[in-house]
Amino acid sequence: MATKLDPWGAVSIDDYSKLFEEFGISSFEEILPQIDDPHPYMKRHIIFGHRDYQKVASAMKEKKPFAVMSGFMPSGRVHLGGKMVMEEIIWHQKHGGDAFVAIADMEAHSVRGISWAKCREMGIEEYILSIIALGLEPSATIYFQSKSGAVRDLAFELAAAARFSELAAIYGFSGETNVAHMISVIVQSADILHPQLPENGGPKPVVIPVGSDQDAHIRLTRDLASRMRKFLVEEREGRVSLRGKAAGPDIIEAAAARLKEMGYKKVKRYEEHIDVFDAKAKDAGKVEEMMRVFEVEEGGYGFVPPASLYHRFMTGLTGGKMSSSRPESHIALTEDPEEAAKKVMRAVTGGRQSLAEQKKLGGEPERCTVYELMLFHLSEDESELQEIFEECKSGERMCGTCKKEAAERIRAFLIKHQREREIARERLPEYGL
């Protein structure tokens, strides 16, 4: 049965490798050696896949402009799953990226029916305070969708390139879907692309860290980014060809002149495309970058298709997916630390039915929510994790020991984090809020 990725539903992925074949997501393993100082999620294979991340990795290594962007729908308390996205945004910012954080209040209002006032309250109290407390720097752009004229204007432009039939195919929209819900999807594409607007530095690689259930938004936005281009640059049998996707005769003529200014002499202009016969395959990237600059000068966008990173879902403490709608399955960043510790003590583990069986057969840490807490959030020490894993597998370590350690660590983390959230509250004006 085909895997279904639903941005608004409960998604459980049993075999992440299926996503490589079914959705064209690439394995992160192949790109990991290119990353200096990789995030623990990368080293621990929690980030398992990507689309086009090599452009971001290259920009990072070469100290060139790039950005990181993601959004949060203010529909409930932010839990450890949301913390993962926040940490990925912060890591990219610390490695030279411009950071953009959207509070998707238009989505929450249209999809969940949450009032605008509640969206703002929840956006600040749950999401913005937590991401600042975790380390987001004031250079970041934090905004509510409904308050960003630039995002709404871009969404209007993108909507002209989108079709209802493709939204229906991607998201399952029908004649019963309200129009505001459809609009919110296009607004999310505008969120993803607006770090590339001229006022934000123009076209550049942008990475969107998400769970794989959000891949539909990435696919749609990559398609829309391509459609907004005036030219498609292609390598063709010993030459570089520029296809005028949305360029009129005057733009094509001006582009041909620009190519000659670059030093190319064998430039032939046709009605809807240009061939550069003295540009070889190695020149295609140079021509592509030139055309992006040219398009912006001519009032276009020159978008680079957005890249994305995909991380594994956390398992809920009760088994299954961690869900904001099931409080017993998750730990919220605003939760009482003592209650959070109690949840860990009640969590489903990978232990055996009895102590004797555990000692004889060993545990199954790969199926244990408590070990997962340590792996995802509570241990910075790779050797410690390896030791816990091996002791569990061998039957040397009992579940009670792990639960007590994890419970104390989550309690200590939440006490510290909630203290830093109050400091973040005083710093909101630094972020324009």
Give the list of residues 6+ apart from residue 358 with CB closer than 8 angstroms, or none. Answer: 351, 352, 395, 398, 399
- Is 2 among the domain residues? no
pLDDT of residue 21: 61
What does the pLDDT read at residue 13?
42
Give how many domains the chain has, as a whole number. Answer: 3
Measured between its terminal Cα atoms, the distance across the chain in Å is 46
CA separation for the pair 139, 278 (Å, rounded): 43
If asked whether residues 217 and 244 sit together in one domain, one would say no
For position 50, what pLDDT does the model report?
94
Verify that 60 and 95 share a domain, yes or no: yes
Give the pLDDT confidence score for residue 281 in this predicted structure. 74
Domain presence at residue 12: no
The single-letter DSSP state of residue 4 is -
Determine the residue type at 185. V
Could you tell me the pTM of the whole model? 0.90
pLDDT computed for residue 178 by the predictor: 85
Residue 397 pLDDT = 83
CATH code of 275's domain: 3.30.1360
On the CB side of 183, CA atoms within 13 Å amount to 15
Give the CATH number of the domain where residue 154 resides.
Answer: 3.40.50.620
Range of the domain at 153: 18-227+304-311
Same domain, 345 and 287: no
Could you tell me if 140 and 264 lie in one domain? no
One domain for residues 98 and 209? yes
- What radius of gyration do the chain's Cα atoms show? 24
Same structural domain for residues 57 and 148? yes
Q: What are phi and psi of 336, to 5 degrees?
A: -60, 125
Task: Please check whether residue 145 lies inside any domain of the structure.
Answer: yes
Structural domain includes residue 249: yes
User: Would you give the DSSP letter of residue 123?
Assistant: I
Task: Report the chain (433 residues): mean pLDDT per 10 consecutive residues.
Answer: 38 54 81 93 93 95 97 92 96 98 94 94 97 98 96 95 88 85 92 96 96 86 92 86 82 90 90 87 84 90 95 84 75 96 88 68 82 93 90 84 94 98 97 94
In a domain, 317, yes or no: no
User: Rounded to 5 degrees, what are φ and ψ at 71?
Assistant: -130, 160
Burial of 324 (0-12, 13-18, 19+ CB in 10 A): middle
Contact 233, 291 (CB under 8 A): yes
Q: 9 in a domain, yes or no?
A: no
**Whether residue 194 is found in the same domain as residue 97:** yes
Q: What is the pLDDT of residue 17?
A: 64
Question: Does residue 190 share a domain with residue 212?
Answer: yes
**419 in helix, strand or coil?**
helix
* CATH code where residue 334 lies: 1.10.240.10
Q: 336 and 238 in one domain?
A: no
